[in-house]
Amino acid sequence: MAANPLQKYKAERDSSRALQMAEGGAPREKARAFVIQKHWATRLHYDFRLELEGAMKSWAVPKGPSYDPKDKRMAVHVEDHPMSYNTFEGQIPEGQYGAGKVIVWDEGTWRPMGDPLQGYQDGNLKFELHGRKLRGHWALIKIKSRHGKDNAWLLIKERDGLERPAAEFSVIDEFPDSVATLPSPEGAKTK
Ligand code: MN
pLDDT tens readout for residues 67-120: 999 999 999 999 999 999 999 999 999 999 999 999 999 999 999 999 999 999
Expressed in angstroms and rounded, the spacing between residue 161 Cα and the centre of ligand 1 is 30
Compare 118 and 5 and report the one with higher pLDDT.
Answer: 118
- From the CA of 37, how far away is ligand 1's center (Å)? 7
pLDDT in tens, 150-169: 899 999 999 999 999 999 99
Tell how far the Cα of 52 is from the centroid of ligand 1, in angstroms: 18
pLDDT for residue 8 is more than 70: no
Spacing, Cα 175 to ligand 1 middle (Å): 19
**How remote is the CA of residue 160 from the centroid of ligand 1, in Å?**
29
**Residue pLDDT, tens place only, 42-70:** 999 999 999 999 999 999 999 999 999 99
Taken in order 34, 154, 45, 149, the sign of the CA dihedral is positive
Structure confidence at residue 28 (pLDDT)? 46
| Structure confidence at residue 26 (pLDDT) | 47
Q: How many CA atoms lie within 13 A of 53 on its CB side?
A: 9
Asked if residue 13 lies in contact with residue 19, where contact means CB atoms within 8 angstroms, the answer is no
**104 CA to middle of ligand 1, Å?**
11
Quick one: DSSP state of residue 30?
P
pTM: predicted TM-score of the whole model, two decimal places: 0.81
Whole-number Cα distances in Å, 77 to 25, 56, 63, 173 = 31, 11, 14, 24
Question: Measuring CA to CA, which residue among 64, 57, 73, 75 is closest to residue 40?
Answer: 64
Ligand 1 centroid from CA 98, angstroms? 6
